[in-house]
Structure 1
Amino acid sequence: MRASGRGPSGRRPSRGRLAALGLALALLTGACGGSATGTGAASDASPASASARAAAAQKQLAKNTVVPLEGKPPTPKLPVTVDSSDGRKVTVKDASRILPLNGGVAEIVFTLGLGDRVVGRDITATFEEAEKLPQVTKAHDVSAESVLSLRPTVVLADTDTGPKEAVQQIRDAGIPVVVLDPATKLSDVTTRTTRVAEALGVPEAGKALNQRMSDELAAARAGVPKGSKPKVAFLYMRGSAAVYLIGGRGSGADSLLEAAGAVDAGTAAGLDKPFTPITTEALAQAQPDVILMMTKGLESVGGLDGLLQIPGIAQTPAGLDRRVVDMEDGVLLGFGPRTPLVIDILVDRIHQAS
């Protein structure tokens, strides 16, 4: 993660999202250590504390690990019957072999303290604890045969998981499949955490994790400088595939930017779709002070210098000031337990010299 200022210097969005991140250091370290505490951190809103929190957040994200809740791992209380987002009622009787088919969901399971029960992973589960698990997806499609070979007792999917035939084949084998709605905005993080915890029979752990994240977010947002409201454009790019998009309402980034005290430039310019092809006219209307990108997307266009060669970008305030912030693909729009760290970094980076 880096921010480019003046002078020289993955994961693709889900199908649903494309259709449709001193004292303060000690506070952050304590929060990331897994406790449900963190009240009081919000009282320190100085620029120095924001920088310290961002530095600590960046250090934690660089480890590419999750931070489980403190204490003894919870023991699932089963059976439970829960609502599945495909309109079914699903009964979970055994959580000894959990298979999350979504990277963000896997992150929640591990952070709840149930990582030792996870038997496989989706291609988007790239954090260290999951890396050595068998992968059951290819190009984001699920292999029913690979799933069944791991003998899971419960499968956690989302509405983007496919193909549908594979999901049905897993169900036909007698394995409960709980389908969740995708997380596309900040408020979805706690909702999905609650649903995962309930499906696995550990609702109290879900409440503790939600409280921890709430405290961390409050502390991060307290660092927003008073009177600072930069316009930030989220650009999704894959240069090798000639994909050049600007985010608007519903991109996911709009929710993060709002939490970080910024204005989503695409939404402010009237872009009502999650993503719109970049044009010089759209950029001229958006006039972003800062550009936010995924790291691989920035690399795919040749870094900052290559980005500025794309028509219209160099003429924006962000282009003129070379103000580009990039974050790792799987974390920025992951909407999981590490999202408060994303807000910490955004609060610091997007308000610099704004």
Structure 2
Amino acid sequence: MSMTSLPRVFYTLIFGFFVTLNPELTFAEKSQRIVSVSGTLSEILVGLGLESQIVGVDVTSTYPASLEKLPKVGHNRNISAEGILALNPDVIVTSDQSMMSANVLKQLNSTGKKVITFKQEFSAEGTINLIREVGIYFDAKPQAEKMVKSLQADLAKLPKTAAPKKLLFIYARGTGTLMVSGKNTSLDKMFTLIGHKNAVTDFTDFKPLTSESLLAANPDVLVLFSSGLESVDGIDGLLKVPSVKYTNAGKNRKIVSMDGQYLTGFGPRLGKAAAELAQKVR
């Protein structure tokens, strides 16, 4: 049984909070102060028509651009409970993919504030489920379904891949910090979604880039965040990193970049991001 098919009373018990089953006003119509600690959830909330109720976000909340004007509560493990509570939120939303520390979550829960952690799965189905579950919680199911239909239409347009290529994602913060993405990461799932392969399959999560592993993987395409590619002085700078120029990607200068949240958010724009990546790696 899916989460959306559960009776409302069971849904509320699962998430550990209580709501009135038939309120005069829906959550979306009430004035609530929301802090979002997830760029993906922030984007969904805006799509649900709740942007005016968002009073603070983390630094991954970059879309739409209007969110940039809101107070920032930090990034990943740098997020503090004090920074969030200073905004006096009624609801704090995050996902199980967030790197917010368990200690901060414990602090927030101890205040009596509503802290809602949504499950996020890096797949098309997982993204659709996430949008629907956020819509259910905020009593905005019609708006959620509108986003779902738009996403499904985008995904249906993804081209078929005749000859899968080996893609390798490099996380860069200057040439001194270079990490590669292994299995079960959002990048790995995105490569699979567009019909290509991750060039590394012998580990999960991220590991430091080494010349030996890079040559062994020999990717056809290197993928970076736009900010990461800039941090190594563009394609020419990346080609100066040991062994990069000896890979198929380096020899052919097949290096592509995209905005980080857009590429890995697995939110309402997933279909568009996948289509753009597929076009760039052709």
Q: With the length of structure 1 as denominator, give the TM-score of the two structures.
A: 0.67
**Alignment correspondent of 1:340:** 271
Equivalent-residue separation in structure 2 for 1:248 and 1:255 (angstroms)? 10
Aligned residues: 263
Deviation, structure 1 residue 182: 4.4
Establish whether residue 232 from structure 1 lines up as the match of residue 167 from structure 2.
yes
Establish whether residue 158 from structure 1 lines up as the match of residue 85 from structure 2.
no
**Alignment correspondent of 1:300:** 231
Equivalent-residue separation in structure 1 for 2:196 and 2:101 (angstroms)? 37
Answer yes or no: is the 8 Å Cα contact 1:224–1:347 preserved in 2.
no
**Alignment correspondent of 2:281:** 350
**Alignment correspondent of 1:328:** 259
Equivalent-residue separation in structure 2 for 1:154 and 1:275 (angstroms)? 32
Answer yes or no: is the 8 Å Cα contact 1:104–1:125 preserved in 2.
yes
Instruction: Structure 1 unaligned segments of length 5 or more: list them.
Output: 1-76
Answer yes or no: is the 8 Å Cα contact 1:141–1:161 preserved in 2.
no
Please report the RMSD computed on the Cα atoms of aligned residues, expressed in angstroms: 2.5
Establish whether residue 122 from structure 1 lines up as the match of residue 58 from structure 2.
yes
Deviation sequence 1:237-264 (CA, Å, 0-9, x none): 2226x22222221121121112222122
Q: Which amino acid aligns with 2:149?
A: Q
Equivalent-residue separation in structure 2 for 1:108 and 1:327 (angstroms)? 20
Equivalent-residue separation in structure 2 for 1:239 and 1:193 (angstroms)? 35
Equivalent-residue separation in structure 2 for 1:299 and 1:82 (angstroms)? 46
Q: 1:102 aligns with which of 29, 38, 55?
A: 38
Question: Is 302-311 or 129-138 further displaced after alignment?
Answer: 129-138
**SS of the counterpart of 1:314?**
helix
Q: Which amino acid aligns with 1:229?
A: P
CA 1:140/1:330 → structure 2, altered by over 3 Å: closer, same or farther?
Answer: farther
Q: 1:248 aligns with which of 182, 185, 188?
A: 182
Q: Which amino acid aligns with 1:118?
A: I
Deviation sequence 1:39-59 (CA, Å, 0-9, x none): xxxxxxxxxxxxxxxxxxxxx
**Alignment correspondent of 1:132:** 69
Establish whether residue 149 from structure 1 lines up as the match of residue 86 from structure 2.
yes
Greater relative contact order structure (CA < 8 Å, 6+ sep): 1
**Alignment correspondent of 2:155:** 217
Equivalent-residue separation in structure 1 for 2:78 and 2:19 (angstroms)? 24
**Alignment correspondent of 2:118:** 180
Deviation, structure 1 residue 171: 2.9
Deviation, structure 1 residue 307: 1.0
Q: 2:200 aligns with which of 260, 266, 272?
A: 266
Answer yes or no: is the 8 Å Cα contact 1:142–1:161 preserved in 2.
no
Deviation, structure 1 residue 339: 1.9
Q: Which amino acid aligns with 1:230?
A: K
Answer yes or no: is the 8 Å Cα contact 1:101–1:156 preserved in 2.
yes
**Alignment correspondent of 2:18:** 91
Equivalent-residue separation in structure 2 for 1:138 and 1:288 (angstroms)? 31
Question: Is 172-181 or 90-99 further displaced after alignment?
Answer: 90-99
Answer yes or no: is the 8 Å Cα contact 2:77–2:101 preserved in 1.
no
Deviation, structure 1 residue 185: 4.3
CA 1:260/1:254 → structure 2, altered by over 3 Å: closer, same or farther?
Answer: same
**SS of the counterpart of 2:172?**
strand
Question: Is 277-286 or 323-332 further displaced after alignment?
Answer: 277-286
Instruction: Structure 2 unaligned segments of length 5 or more: list them.
Output: 1-7, 21-26
**SS of the counterpart of 1:326?**
strand
Answer yes or no: is the 8 Å Cα contact 1:331–1:342 preserved in 2.
yes
Establish whether residue 290 from structure 1 lines up as the match of residue 225 from structure 2.
no
Deviation, structure 1 residue 326: 0.4
Answer yes or no: is the 8 Å Cα contact 1:101–1:161 preserved in 2.
no
**SS of the counterpart of 1:156?**
strand
Deviation, structure 1 residue 276: 2.6
Deviation sequence 1:252-288 (CA, Å, 0-9, x none): 1121112222122123xxx231223222332222221
**Alignment correspondent of 2:23:** none
Equivalent-residue separation in structure 2 for 1:130 and 1:244 (angstroms)? 29
